[in-house]
Chain A
């Protein structure tokens, strides 16, 4: 067969060539010039856009690629990727998870420029630091007034009130294994009541729980939709939903609210260390903290005192005495105990 007809054959079949070309096209990076930072986060989806835009505006040539999931999922993922980290930096994850990583030597020591200005409670005590805080978020009850009226329910004012048999099946809360809000909530109960009484409380509460949801956002959203009468969620989501017209009250129970702190830290082994440091520097600026402050009333930068609309007043005074180190150390034990007791009732994941 002449050479020409072979070439013709390949042209006609075209498969190998076309496939290789297509495969090349498919795997090519999206943009070659800009530095892309892979940022792992548990921030709320609606926060990601504004945060990214604000940082990128100040740092042309850097593009943030978010990998976002709930706290438990992102934490598990970072731990699983320990040998071969895929994240450059973590921005917006509970400090109780950051302490776990730090304990396993997974964070790159770096004190962001200006980090020493932050409130002492919101930064690592080591020098150089491995993490810096952003804001504190609290567990609250989102209580649907319309549904309550329709079903003749009375509003809860304490965590103990949630055991009221009239609430049976009407409460939703996040699964602490997947949700950071879920974990800080049960950690607060265990600290307020002590472990034994804390688990006994949860055993009883379990009877009233409609279902355990995947994320910390979902319980307040579902309560706002009246799908359930009340949801145990976090402060900022409840306030935002209320400002959007949802018929809910955001209640901080009398015993106090559990809380955790969102934090930033660079992954050890990142291939973009310099750029990651630029982001770390930016996250402790006043400008960044003003952004956090549009959501949360308690932020790391001193002197910022905005209270977002419908955010529960005096929240700072109602935070429980919380041992973050204890929360980090006991995280795995508490979560596996929780799963053993209640997971059968939890939503997928």
Chain B
């Protein structure tokens, strides 16, 4: 199927639209080079230079490893991430199992509730935890004297933050079950427990591993939660920030960023490897499994899901409540004082409007770029070497933590010799950075949608002498609109909630909401920080709801051809 398009006779003079396609691919490669590859290269080289830019070999690394305070953060990050993974994984698995393999009631509701954390920056659960378990916390007694500031708080906040990501992967893994296996097992007289251990678990093993790696990476690279609730407990993500912003020590900052990149890349590589295996499991003959009602079991799973969903809703509700309190904890009267951001924050509401601008631009430009890029990669031919480069750079951002990409941008764009230096300090660099940061998932979504389209479209167009861009505009885009919308919403929500990628790149006129949350928390104004975080949630939630409604309409209008 993939080779069907390669009908262009060799040595023939290239048609104009082929030239356009090639130029576009080259432009895409150049864009990825500037947005992803060169900044990372700048970071790598910076870690081998001293303050004056002279190559010093491994001297910075030597400084880093000989400083026990810095190096201990590395282990702190690993340990916290491991614990968070161990907490999230079983909960997400049970939840996913309930959603896919039982006839439990209210699946739609529980699925929706589990998505809540995606709408919030990771700062939000951390702030809420202070109100719940801080020294004045409502549920302080439950900790038996333990302090929420430190690993405990980080783990809980990260569990909230990463849960939907793990759930999504596990739901996918458990959905792709072959009913025939279960029928055979039952026919052979296997007990439910045995079936679970010998059919279900092995079938989902790659999904489980994949989810574990994703959670681990998210926790290691997350900045928001440890920043707010880490207390005296240092981790890699906060160290990078401390070195770069706090001490302007860019060399050690670069080394810490490399340390942060290492586990992320390793776990990314492992995850890719595992995911490939998972794909191979599916065969065309598989029969989908339809769970049968089991009153007792379904009831138990309902209880289990509630046990997970209640804390998720509780944390969100706490943040909403915190944002409305007049003077915590002595005056619990409700007021909108915390939403009057001018009292706590230089720029008042400006950061919120900036976030909307950032998210809007990122969604519009990012989606256009990503989808067109994926189309060029999938459906046009020629320049194989350039395409290979594009493919590599398109996958790379998934392995690069936002903080690392952000600091790379400082090195690259703030370099005096860079002609693109004028971008520094503009909204454009935030948009560029955010698109690059979230490029991969959008690219994969687009690629998946495009792969479902038969390459015959291009072959037929070519034989009708219609240029590829006409096919793209008239056929591909309309058919793929649902996927395009998915990408746009994904870009929008992530641009609203991201902290790590932009923390090094904002300037006062481009300060965004998530940054304002960090700063208000730094000054001790948790109520106002909660209020701004809630504004982010309200906005992302609105966009998400609009998405669902629009997707429904779109499905009716443009996807009728899929149903026969």
Contacts and interface: CB of A to CB of B under 8 A. Distances in A.
Contact of B246 (A6, A15, A225, A349): A349
A283 to B, nearest CB: 18
A80 B410 CA distance: 13
Contact of B27 (A5, A16, A68, A225): A16
B472 A13 contact: yes
A15 B8 CA distance: 26
B486 interface: no
Contacts of B136: 225-227
A212 B246 CA distance: 14
Interface residues of B, number: 65
Interface string A337-349: 0000001111111
A45 B469 CA distance: 52
B342 A49 contact: yes
B345 A348 contact: no
B248 A76 contact: yes
Nearest to B344: A45
A342 to B, nearest CB: 10
A18 B519 CA distance: 35
B241 A45 contact: no
Given A46-B344, A214-B522, A348-B241, A13 B372 contact: yes
B149 interface: yes
Interface stretch (B107-115, B226-234, B398-406): B226-234
A246 B330 CA distance: 8
A348 B523 contact: no
B365 A22 contact: yes
Given A344-B72, A348-B226, A217 B368 contact: no
Interface in B414-451: 416, 422-423, 426-428, 431
B227 A45 contact: no
A76 B247 contact: yes
A343 B16 CA distance: 63
Given A27-B428, A65-B509, A67-B507, A245 B330 contact: yes
Nearest to A38: B508
A131 B330 CA distance: 43
Interface string B149-177: 10000000000000000000000000000
A328 to B, nearest CB: 18
B20 interface: yes
Contacts of A212: 232
Contacts of B509: 30, 65
A320 interface: no
Contact of A73 (B245, B342, B369): B245
A35 to B, nearest CB: 15
Q: Which of B246, B368, B470, B525 is the most central at the interface, judged by chain A CB atoms within 10 Å of its CB?
A: B246
B447 to A, nearest CB: 18
A6 B63 CA distance: 58
Contacts of A84: 416
Contacts of A252: none
A92 to B, nearest CB: 12
B180 interface: no
B247 A177 contact: yes
B342 A348 contact: no
B473 interface: yes
B346 A245 contact: no
A250 B343 CA distance: 22
Given A246-B330, A349-B242, A227 B134 contact: yes
Contact of B346 (A6, A45, A228, A346): A45
B525 A221 contact: yes
A1 B16 contact: yes
A66 interface: yes
B231 A226 contact: no
B330 A226 contact: yes
A177 B248 CA distance: 12
A68 to B, nearest CB: 5
Contact of B428 (A13, A23, A226): A23
Of all A-B residue pairs in the complex, the 10 with the closest CB atoms, nearest first, are A221-B524, A348-B238, A80-B248, A26-B428, A218-B524, A76-B248, A345-B232, A1-B16, A349-B246, A12-B473
8 contacts: A19-B368, A23-B428, A27-B423, A49-B348, A67-B508, A226-B135, A343-B69, A347-B232
Given A13-B372, A226-B330, A349-B227, 8 more contacts: A49-B348, A76-B246, A225-B329, A227-B130, A344-B69, A348-B230, A348-B234, A348-B242
Interface of B: 15-17, 20, 24, 27, 69, 72, 130, 134-136, 149, 226-227, 230-232, 234, 238, 241-242, 245-248, 250, 327-331, 342-346, 348, 361, 364-365, 368-369, 372, 416, 422-423, 426-428, 431, 467, 469-470, 472-473, 507-509, 519, 522-526
